[in-house]
């Protein structure tokens, strides 16, 4: 933690306008400038954080909303990560969080948890609640590893090849959507490699302060990427969180990284001729924080939806949904309150236009999970889909 980074903050309060935690609690300690004030007061000392300070540090979604609007470019995400790293190095981490992070550090641990989830009786969809999480969790699909080959060739004339980094959620929870990523790219003339030895991107570990594990995971993944540097033009992800980690936190990547929306619009120049217009769903888009505020990808998904659906901009489209990975587990009540505010914005947006056959679209599996749960709890019957699902459904002669 650098003193000069802390001193960049002039306490103007701009961060209060966007902070999802502050919007719910109204607590100054929940907003960026409040946390910075606390850390400035503690900077000179080497004592362990108090329980109250830890509570303030944990009550942050790490959505980056504060940094996105900050007129002074205060690197708040780096500040909060460093503060949490200090806490972890002092042994100030919840046992349950430590176990969860350990589980996510290996493919075997994640696939084992997903397998247990699939054993729960019932059809696919929102099925069950976990006592710690106290929210509905989508039943995991079959792991992507068992459904796709390590290379899926382009259909027709090949443009180039990419390496697809699905991430944990798409690989084990939303594997159906992950398959559609590959199918859409193949249809557009792109060959897709998969490397099932890839591990978690490490973003949950980084934001929790476990930098040691993050460094291990990122080093492992970079070594795997290097094997494809002469085979592919891009690494592609359809998870906003993974994309943020790869672009902003990985060092010396051997291949450029693109979010799926960037690849489709900026590289492939996807056009309406690729789609069927038999059905025109009415759509609104929720901008994932890790896509808009971390990667500055905004226009591309809106352009896609404007071409293939009856798209209208949603009030509060950039308001954080409150997921934040482990934040939704260990700060569950606060996460749900933020989700409730988002659900109300969604409801208002669709009601204002009297829409039928409406769909809320996003481009991050974490947001999909949070939004679906928030809407269900608030009795709002609006389905949530990944933008790839909408594209797949609109493509001509494509069968599920």
Question: 304 in a domain, yes or no?
Answer: yes
Q: What is the number of other CB atoms lying within 10 angstroms of the CB of residue 249? A: 19
CA dist 201 and 170 (Å) reads 12
Do 239 and 166 contact (CB within 8 A), yes or no?
Answer: yes
Q: Which stretch of DSSP H or E encloses residue 390?
A: helix 387-394
Q: Which stretch of DSSP H or E encloses residue 4?
A: helix 3-7
Question: 23 in a domain, yes or no?
Answer: yes
3-class DSSP assignment, residue 166: coil
Question: 150 in a domain, yes or no?
Answer: no
Question: 167 in a domain, yes or no?
Answer: no
Domain at 339, CATH number: 3.40.50
- What total of structural domains would you count in the chain? 2
- Strand spans (E) along 70-148: 126-129, 136-138
CA dist 16 and 23 (Å) reads 8
User: Nearest to residue 31, comparing CAs of 43, 42, 15?
Assistant: 15
Q: Domain end: 89, 115, 131, which one? A: 89
Q: What is the pLDDT of residue 400?
A: 44
Virtual torsion, Cα 215, 218, 222, 223, nearest 10 deg: 60
User: Nearest to residue 259, comparing CAs of 285, 236, 241?
Assistant: 236
Do 241 and 293 contact (CB within 8 A), yes or no?
Answer: no
Reading the chain (400 residues) residue by residue, the pLDDT tens digits are: 678 899 999 999 999 999 999 999 999 988 999 999 999 888 766 678 899 999 999 999 999 999 999 999 999 999 999 999 999 989 898 888 888 888 787 877 677 666 566 555 554 444 444 444 556 677 777 888 889 999 999 998 999 999 999 999 999 889 999 999 999 999 999 999 999 999 999 999 999 999 999 999 999 999 999 999 999 999 999 999 999 999 999 998 999 999 999 999 999 998 766 666 566 788 999 999 999 999 999 999 999 999 888 899 999 999 999 999 889 888 989 999 999 999 999 999 888 765 566 899 999 999 999 999 999 999 998 999 999 999 998 886 444 4
Q: Domain end: 89, 116, 138, which one? A: 89
Domain at 32, CATH number: 1.10.1060.10
Q: Which stretch of DSSP H or E encloses residue 185?
A: helix 175-187
Q: What is the pLDDT of residue 276?
A: 63
Q: What is the number of other CB atoms lying within 10 angstroms of the CB of residue 203? A: 28
Owning domain of residue 360: 272-394
Q: Is the pTM of this model over 0.85?
A: yes
Question: 295 in a domain, yes or no?
Answer: yes
Q: Domain end: 43, 67, 89, which one? A: 89
Question: 319 in a domain, yes or no?
Answer: yes
Question: 309 in a domain, yes or no?
Answer: yes
Question: 385 in a domain, yes or no?
Answer: yes
- Strand spans (E) along 144-281: 151-152, 160-164, 190-194, 234-237, 257-259
Q: What is the pLDDT of residue 128?
A: 46
């Amino acid at each position: 933690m650098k003193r000069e980074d802390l001193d960049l903050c002039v306490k103007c309060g701009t961060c209060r306008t966007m902070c999802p935690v502050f919007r719910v609690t109204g607590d100054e300690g929940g907003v960026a400038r409040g946390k910075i004030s606390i850390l400035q007061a503690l900077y000179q000392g080497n004592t362990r954080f108090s329980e109250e300070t830890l509570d303030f540090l944990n009550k942050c979604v790490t959505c980056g909303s504060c940094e996105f609007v900050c007129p002074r470019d205060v690197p708040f995400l780096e500040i909060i990560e460093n503060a949490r790293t200090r806490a972890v190095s002092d042994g100030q981490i919840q046992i349950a969080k430590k176990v969860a992070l350990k589980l996510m550090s290996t493919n075997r641990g994640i696939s084992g948890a997903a397998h247990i989830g699939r054993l729960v009786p019932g059809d696919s969809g929102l099925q069950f609640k976990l006592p710690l999480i106290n929210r509905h969790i989508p039943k995991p699909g079959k792991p992507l590893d068992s459904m796709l080959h390590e290379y899926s060739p382009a259909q027709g004339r090949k443009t180039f090849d990419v390496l697809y980094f699905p991430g944990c959620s798409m690989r084990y929870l939303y594997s159906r959507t992950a398959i559609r990523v590959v199918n859409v790219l193949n249809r557009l003339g792109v060959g897709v490699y998969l490397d099932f030895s890839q591990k978690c991107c490490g973003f949950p570990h980084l934001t929790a302060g476990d930098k040691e594990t993050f460094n291990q995971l990122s080093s492992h993944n970079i070594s795997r990427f290097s094997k494809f540097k002469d085979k592919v033009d891009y690494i592609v992800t359809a998870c906003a969180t993974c994309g943020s980690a790869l672009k902003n936190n990985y060092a010396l990547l051997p291949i450029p990284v693109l979010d799926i929306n960037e690849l489709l619009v900026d590289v492939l120049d996807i056009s309406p001729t690729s789609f069927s217009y038999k059905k025109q769903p009415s759509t609104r888009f929720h901008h994932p924080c890790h896509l808009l505020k971390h990667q500055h990808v905004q226009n591309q998904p809106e352009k896609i939806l404007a071409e293939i659906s009856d798209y209208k901009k949603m009030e509060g489209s950039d308001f954080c949904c409150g997921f934040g990975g482990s934040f939704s587990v260990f700060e569950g009540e606060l996460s749900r309150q933020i989700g409730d505010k988002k659900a109300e914005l969604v409801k208002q947006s669709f009601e204002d236009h009297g829409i039928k056959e409406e769909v809320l679209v996003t481009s991050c599996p974490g947001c999909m999970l949070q939004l679906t749960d928030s809407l269900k709890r608030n009795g709002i019957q609006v389905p949530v889909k990944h933008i790839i699902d909408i594209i797949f459904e609109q493509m001509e002669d494509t069968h599920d």
